[in-house]
A and B are shown apart, each in its own frame.
Chain A
Amino acid sequence: MADTMEHRNVEPGHGDEHGEHDHPGYMSYVIIALILTVITALEVAIFYIPALAGVIVPLLLALSAGKFVLVVMFYMHLKMDSQIFTGVFVAPMALAIFLIVALIMLFKVIPSIG
């Protein structure tokens, strides 16, 4: 079995000028995976440290958002791709986040105040 495919006319990082730009190399992907692993380990460590109980929510949300952004920007290549892709993905996601926050406010926060 040959180790190469039949065509070599396409290289990552050699996209066109309309939304396809340089993709990271293998080593960049591995480094991002290492960062994701370290952040996950940090998240689990924070869960088990009682002294951080008071700040666990903002800490974990920030770390989780960091992982989310790393995967979307580098593994899904949104950082290198057209901003139109970013728009069609981020706009409904912002609506979803608004929905979650609004429902939590309506069903949990406001009743507990009033």
Chain B
Amino acid sequence: MTAHTAHPPTSTGLDTWKLGFWTFLGSETLFFGSFIATYMIYAGRSVAGPLPHEVLDIPLTSISTFVLLMSSLAMVIGLAGVQRGSRGVALGGIGATAALGMIFLGFQAYEFTHFYHVGLTLSTNLFGSSFFILTGFHGAHVTIGVIWLLLLWLQMFAGRIAPKDALKVEIAGLYWHFVDIVWIAIFTLIYLLQTEG
């Protein structure tokens, strides 16, 4: 039984998987909130460079932010495709989401490599430590999301995901959109509101 066909036999009338996943996402806000707080309180306290304004590339990161936003659009269209029984839309949407996620990871790999070449590593200064921990954990979440979406796509391609299984895709979508909203916060707090390191 899914949340869409009839309400599940629970005291809340809600699907327990979905409720559990929303609770998990709530705990994830505390996880990322801790790293964001750490970055913010260490900002401006690095005694050696490179500093944020010397290395952060706003045009490049703006493009990768746009890519991640569009992946959320593809995800929600893919989910609607699954719910409506439109196989083409579902495969296209979920496939595009995974592809855009991989492009985002490509941008992040380029950025990390560039930072390494200009002398910014995890142990260079407080900026490097807090930046790589925060964005690295976000990148790890994106990677897990891409793998999850690719597995779902394969299941859909094999005809193993029907509209009655839409909750599986919906939960993957919740995870993916969460990764997107975490990046919305990171893009503003770390990239646009730069401090002196």
A→B interface (CB under 8 Å): 1-12, 14-20, 23, 25-26, 29-30, 32-33, 36-37, 40, 43-44, 46-48, 56-57, 60-61, 63-64, 67-68, 71-72, 74-76, 82, 84-85, 88-93, 95-97, 99-100, 103-104, 106-108
Contacts and interface: CB of A to CB of B under 8 A. Distances in A.
Nearest to B62: A44
Contact of B185 (A68, A75, A90): A68
Given A10-B163, A57-B193, A4 B85 contact: yes
B136 interface: no
A8 to B, nearest CB: 4
Contact of A104 (B23, B34, B37, B178): B37
7 contacts: A5-B163, A7-B85, A19-B12, A60-B188, A68-B185, A88-B23, A96-B30
Interface residues of B, number: 66
B7 A3 contact: no
Nearest 8 pairs between A and B by C-beta?
A96-B33, A18-B13, A92-B26, A64-B188, A18-B7, A107-B41, A10-B163, A33-B73
A48 B192 CA distance: 10
B18 interface: yes
A99 B72 CA distance: 28
B27 A85 contact: no
Q: Is the interface of B mostly helix, strand, loop or mixed?
A: helix
B7 A92 contact: no
Contacts of A10: 2, 4-5, 83-85, 163-164, 166
A93 B29 contact: yes
A92 B192 contact: no
A96 B72 CA distance: 23
A85 B19 contact: yes
B142 interface: no
Nearest to A93: B29
Contact of A92 (B5, B30, B161, B162): B30
A108 B76 CA distance: 40
A3 B33 contact: no
B70 to A, nearest CB: 7
Contacts of A90: 26
B58 A12 contact: no
B104 to A, nearest CB: 14
B19 A89 contact: no
Given A40-B62, A93-B29, A100-B36, A30 B80 contact: no
B163 A30 contact: no
Interface string B164-197: 1010000001100110110011011100110000
